Amino acid sequence: MSRLLAFVLCACAAAFAASPDPVRARNGIVSTASAPASDAGVEILKRGGNAVDAAVATAFALAVTYPTAGNIGGGGFMIVRMADGRASAIDYRETASGGASSTMFLDAKGDPIPDAPKTGHRAVGVPGTVAGMALALEKYGTLPWKDVLAPAIQLAERGFPVSHSLARALRGQKKFDAYPESRRVFQRDGRFYEEGEVFRQPDLAATLRRMAAQGPREFYEGKTAELLAAEMRQGGGLVSLADLRTYKAIAREPARGTYRGYELLSMPPVSSGGFLLLHMLGILERHDLDALGHNSSEKYHLLIESMRRAFADRAAYFGDPGFVNVPLAALLSPAYIAARAATIDRARATPSSTLGEGAPVRESTETTHFSVVDRAGNAVSNTYTLRDGYGSGITVKGAGFLLNNVMDEFAAKAGAPNVFGFPAGEANTIAPGKRPVSSQTPTIASKDGKLAFVVGSPGGTTIPNTVLQVTINLIDHRMTIQEAVDAPRIHHQWMPDVVRYERHGMPMDVLHALATKGHKLIAPGEAGRIGMAHGIAIDAETGIRLGASDARSPDGKAAGH
């Protein structure tokens, strides 16, 4: 065997050989990036709660055990599909404050101030997580609010063992240097937590107890709101008590599409994730991907070209539907998808510059996703974030939770008109009460009216492409859910015009073939991890739930009941 062939075989096998069997359970599964949070969700299932009850409990538990992205000071998106077919997309994205403006991060010359939208108190948007969880529970839950907060309260009061990765991450957080309260809570003023130590958070526990006793509006109208507003005033932030009182989560109609006989539900605007996923699948459905082979250059070329076109449209059209008209139906119409697909040259890469102009999309990769399925077949797919890892780095004094820096996900300044005649970024500029565009893609699939799988991922702009590839792995390549989330991934987002790929993700001959077609590839050492998916599939014959936590997730766990 030649050394090159041996390398290729090794590279191809690396993604699959280590994948264990999925977690199997008959009565429900919770899959998250934090083992204690997964266990908290399962605890609610064991108490008789449904998937929505467990999801709300999981979200609050992650706010305790996974502070890099789990939160009550941020926001996100949830897809709910009940066993009877009812479905909803719950948008609890953060909003710009009433005092925000389109020029707030520009200098005297009208140019963006570097890093201003993501640092300091002015980077904070109005948090939506508590309102989103409350809306989900009100519409679809079965247990009282105080009951689903109980596991998180216990984790905050009694504490949980610090993992190796959490200890390392807390020690390395330089953004806490500017905020004494964050240094005190998360770094013990320099006496850093070591692996195995118990991390207790009494201020956060007190906040959760107030909310449990007084209801979710306590966060927006009670003592917690007063503490948050005081933190804003002290640091020159803009989020006020009036902003908190008027915040609303929104139940929207999911973005719907089909792929090879499966129905998919995902997020509509203000998230672009559902559009990106369904548009790319619409292009790819025209090709026999399984016959091309999982790791073939022909398949990767088609993936890259579909990603390139979808992200170009995202840059042109997407914004908060409360402020701009997002032509989602037209963008997902069969005629438009067919027209976009027809522009793909099977032999050559399309230069991104020919598909649009403007600034590349910027989103933090530090998000987290969890998936939940219960015994009855109710399902939740939830992705939420503080934006950057640990958000703004600001902890609300006396309340124990971190605040987001989501204002960096607005366009600080619109660019020149692109080839679609739309000023790049104009739809996503800052305005009071506006929600910034996101790529979050919580997704639920069914077939013949029955739940098939639940999936989602963190990763900023890599999220839709991660969900896309997991979906293809499940449907086209017939992988197990664990294999599907562990398999190597690629990423292209129109601008910059480069393809990212993971270490050991592609054989050398495939890389060479893609380069020959004109693709620009980023070497593995520069690319890093792409996504961190958590999913659940249903065995169509037995009904057994099959759970998977991505091998890229150091503390992740799929827990079954």
| 367 classed as catalytic | yes
Integer angstrom CA distances of residue 493 from 168, 363, 498, 543? 31, 11, 8, 37
CB 425 within 8 A of CB 396: no
> What amino acid occupies position 114?
P
- From the list 367, 461, 462, 480, the catalytic residue is 367
| Distance (Å) of CA 427 to CA 319, 325, 331 | 5, 9, 16
The pair of structure tokens assigned to 415 is 């660019």
The helices-and-strands tally (H runs, E runs) of the chain is: 20, 19
Query: Do the Cβ atoms of 548 and 23 come closer than 8 Å?
Result: yes
At residue 209, the 3 state secondary structure works out as: helix
For tokens 């979050």, the residue is: 440
Cis geometry, peptide bond prior to residue 496 (ω within 30 degrees of 0) = yes
- The residue ranges of DSSP E strands in 117-181, in sequence order, are 160-161
Alpha-helical (H) ranges within 189-296 are: 202-214, 217-221, 223-235, 241-246, 273-284, 289-292
The count of other CB atoms within 10 Å of the CB of residue 512 is 12
Q: Which residues pair with 547 in a beta bridge?
A: 23, 536
CA distance 314 to 174: 33
Greatest alpha-carbon pair distance for the chain in Å reads 70
Half-sphere exposure of 469 (CA within 13 A, CB side): 30
Nearest to 30 by CA among 7, 49, 16, 5: 49
Q: Find out whether 406 and 118 touch, Cβ atoms under 8 Å.
A: no
For residue 524, say if its preceding peptide bond is cis, omega within 30 degrees of 0.
Answer: no
Q: Say how far apart CA 241 and CA 518 lie, in whole Å.
A: 53
Phi, psi of 111, deg, nearest 5: -100, 150
C-alpha distances in Å from residue 156, one per residue of 44, 86, 152, 362, 418: 17, 34, 6, 33, 49
Q: Active-site residues: which are they?
A: 367
